[in-house]
A and B are shown apart, each in its own frame.
Chain A
């Protein structure tokens, strides 16, 4: 009898131990759902449209402006002469970002007007933001919208002699918003000034920057 109780007790204790062991080796009941996430970022992109670039007086009789774009008189060059030429070239690309304007045989008070269309092809709305004028790799002037409103005329010294060689009038404000597929007509004027040296190649660049619409500021 005692033996039987002992056996039962042992079996009970073993069972307890076994069950305890079972409790330790099995985790709680679970079930899992999975969320797969994909994040595609949008693009902020704009371009100069192919087929829209050109100069107003690049071919044919020259136009002059005496003596400053700000208030100067724009007129046909004396005797309708064709002395200088302006060539506008757009890079060949799916989405052109660089336009080259070359004036050959320029002389003081030679004037031209350059036009082109910009196109927004990104899915993020953009706002036209700023201009950087660069001479010899250095940003010499920056215009934000407030600067443009105050004074849209920029004078550039291209040969480092302390006197300005060209004047540019930027024709459009720096605050316009563009959505996907929007197009805007843009333009600027350029005037060669008297201090420009004879027989020299003078170069500069203009960076035209658009920013995501919610980060735009009027003054940098």
Chain B
């Protein structure tokens, strides 16, 4: 009787210990490394525009040129204008319009770009697509078109400028921009006194790409 009880207790003990052995994993200790990567950005957008309005004062018989679309006085009528307009739904797009140009006036459409990226960027490519209805228009217009381009740093200091530069976008590639830099661009058309320049129309499309500075020059795969 006693032996049976002892035997039962012993057996139960063995089973209990076996249960304990199966339920517990090996001892471990863990070190944790928490990683956090806060990425910067590459980006720029148009932040300002201006233009040229040429008026005729019908009383004084004079030509008045303004930088705003406000009529100088009640005697003036608008003859021609050039302007830049930022797309209200996309501040990465600006439209330049030169309308009814005539000789001997600097018709200017200008705009400002601000670089807002926190990672330095370099102007990587400028792709110009001409859609002149008549190829001859492009050949005629290009000689009368110049650019002023000025780069300012984040506190307004001069970094680089090109004045009256021929329309050759490639000279701007490789220039580096930092957060807060601004680029002021004036596109100027000054027609010569040449009757062959009358009645011409045309348009163009231009994409300017900036790339993270450490990948310049960048060729997409």
A: residues with CB less than 8 A from B are 44-48, 64, 77-79, 81, 83-84, 97-109, 118, 122, 124, 126, 129, 158, 165-166, 190, 192, 196-212, 215
Contacts and interface: CB of A to CB of B under 8 A. Distances in A.
B195 to A, nearest CB: 52
A109 to B, nearest CB: 6
Contacts of B29: 44-46, 97, 122, 126, 209-210
Interface stretch (B7-15, B35-43, B165-173): B35-43
16 contacts: A84-B40, A100-B34, A100-B36, A102-B38, A107-B119, A108-B215, A126-B29, A166-B35, A201-B39, A203-B35, A208-B30, A209-B28, A209-B29, A211-B27, A212-B28, A215-B27
B35 A199 contact: no
B34 A198 contact: no
A81 B120 contact: yes
B35 A207 contact: no
Given A77-B214, A81-B120, A202 B39 contact: yes
Interface string B1-29: 00000000000000000000000001111
B215 A109 contact: yes
A98 B39 contact: no
Given A108-B212, A204-B35, 6 more contacts: A45-B29, A105-B118, A106-B38, A108-B215, A201-B37, A215-B26
Contacts of B37: 102-103, 106, 158, 165-166, 190, 192, 196, 201-203
A105 B40 contact: yes
Given A196-B39, A202-B39, A83 B119 contact: yes
Contacts of A78: 213-214, 216
B36 A201 contact: yes
Interface of B: 26-43, 118-120, 212-216
Nearest to B33: A206
Contacts, number: 142
Contacts of A198: 39-43
In the A-B complex, list the 4 residue pairs whose CB atoms are closest, starting with the nearest: A215-B26, A105-B40, A198-B41, A206-B33
A102 B33 CA distance: 11
B183 to A, nearest CB: 20
Contacts of B213: 78-79, 81
Nearest to A214: B26
B28 A129 contact: yes
B32 A205 contact: yes
B38 A105 contact: yes
Nearest to B117: A198
Contacts of A97: 29-32
Which residue among B28, B31, B39, B212 has the maximum number of chain A CB atoms within 10 Å of its CB?
B39
Contacts of B34: 98-101, 203-205
B213 to A, nearest CB: 6
A76 to B, nearest CB: 10
A202 B40 contact: no
Contacts of B39: 105-107, 192, 196-202
Contacts of A126: 29
Nearest to A211: B28
A103 to B, nearest CB: 5
A121 to B, nearest CB: 10
Given A78-B213, A211-B26, A201 B43 contact: no
Contacts of A215: 26-27
Contact of B36 (A84, A203, A207): A203
B121 to A, nearest CB: 10
A207 B40 contact: no
Contact of A207 (B32, B41, B120): B32
Contacts of B30: 97, 207-210
Given A47-B31, A83-B119, A109 B26 contact: no
A46 B28 CA distance: 10
Contacts of B119: 83-84, 105, 107
